[in-house]
Amino acid sequence: MKARINEEGDGFEDSNGREQQQVVNDPQLTFTFHEDSGERGTRAGPGEELQMPTALEKTQALTEQVMEQVVGRSNLNDAYRRVKTNKGSPGVDGMTTEGLYVWINRHREELIGSLLDGSYQPQPVRRVEIPKPGGGMRKLGIPTVVDRLVQQAILQVLDPILDPNFSESSYGFRRKRSAEQALKAAAGYVRDGRVIVVDLDLEQFFDRVNHDILMSRLARRVADKRCLRIVRAYLTAGIMVNGVCMEQDEGTPQGGPLSPLLANLLLDDLDKELEKRGHRFCRYADDCNIYVQSKVAGERVMASVSQFLEQRLKLLVNRAKSAVAYCEKRKFLGYRLLAGGKLGLAPQSLKRIKDKVRRITARNRGRSLSAIVQELNDILPGWVNYFRHAAMKGHLLELDEWIRRKLRCYRLKQRKRGKSIGEYLETLGIPPQRARILAGSGKGWWALAHTPPIHEAMNGKWFEGLGLVNLSRHYAALLSH
């Protein structure tokens, strides 16, 4: 079968322009039993009672031909559009998302054939490291764009099969689920008197996922061995570091489309265990908080759940970062849970945004002030949008003034010398004598930016003219909606 794709992502077709037939329909809607296969149900003979298939057999019937769904025209087109939209860095082969269209035109038959016979072999992922907000480095694995296409196509088929069985207390990387819902649930537990949180931190979770345990969980839900073979191949493809491919016997690299779903699948064992014990909890990816009524109960839960994670799932709990404490002493998704279930801004979140502002407004960057303001405007509204549920009016008033002072420093530093600063202040309406005295005062940039004449010259209207977002007003507008 010949297949092609147009650049807009709506053309994985056969040579006659017909859509490739998908052998298995939407797994949420239908499934098919073959009466003559001897593998599904048992036809009743004379005088015999009809044997209906079990739930497990139904699930297996739905998932025996997953790869036929993966290579379906509409599924591949959706995956192609998603990869193009997400863009991202090239993998080890250097191919960009723009080059994917050309590659597909040349290798379409080979790609589809290898997916259908289960022989598709992913390439190693490219290792990159980015700073963690709390310190240290986060290791990311960047698959090639072709591997991202295939992972995305598999994800789109597996997600409707796996997700409906996940816990109601799991919120990360799931359709129609959000951090906001997780925070709302956590706040409800605190309002109900569960003010002690068991805050579990899994050490290097994505790097420590046990392949055998993960694949056994996937095999419970998916019967198509070709799909299982390809998923395992992704897990063991290896990591390219400085031109050397390192074998991977554990972990699922962050950066691939499939990793979040596989993480939720593995940690669903934890969710089910917590539900069985009757706990109230919220999990967002590998961030799990359990809410109890006393510290004694919390310590007991911490010990037993840590044992479960380490013995059953072979994951390591970071004792230094995990804790049993009053909820207001810990953070969850960047927020702080206050008495009565109210939400506040975690100190770490405020520090993090100030660190970003410091990097942007560093006075040795040599960029125009308008470019610096644009960089700030690119991140600050989104930050406020995320934390809009927190009571933080006072924090934002202080942050607004602090950012304005940073920008005053930046602008003054651009003038470099006293005479130039004095002339500049005169253009802003400061009387000449006053401007000259201030410019020759010898004050440092930070102290100079806090003097009354500078405030008069670079006032609120001046910043409005620059287009700088006002966080307090933005926050108030969000609350009024």
Sheet of 280-284: strand order equals 280-284, 287-292, 196-201, 323-326
Q: How far is 195 from 192, CA to CA, in rounded Å? A: 8
Task: Please tell me the predicted confidence (pLDDT) of residue 57.
Answer: 59
CA distance 263 to 286: 8
For the chain, state the CA radius of gyration. 28
Q: DSSP string covering 216-239, please? A: HHHHHH---HHHHHHHHHHHTS-E
pLDDT of residue 51: 59
pTM given for the model:
0.82
Average pLDDT, consecutive stretches of 10 residues, N- to C-terminus, the chain (481 residues): 46 43 33 30 47 59 85 95 93 93 94 95 88 73 95 97 96 95 97 97 91 95 95 89 72 88 97 98 96 98 97 95 96 95 96 96 91 97 97 97 96 84 87 85 87 89 95 96 81
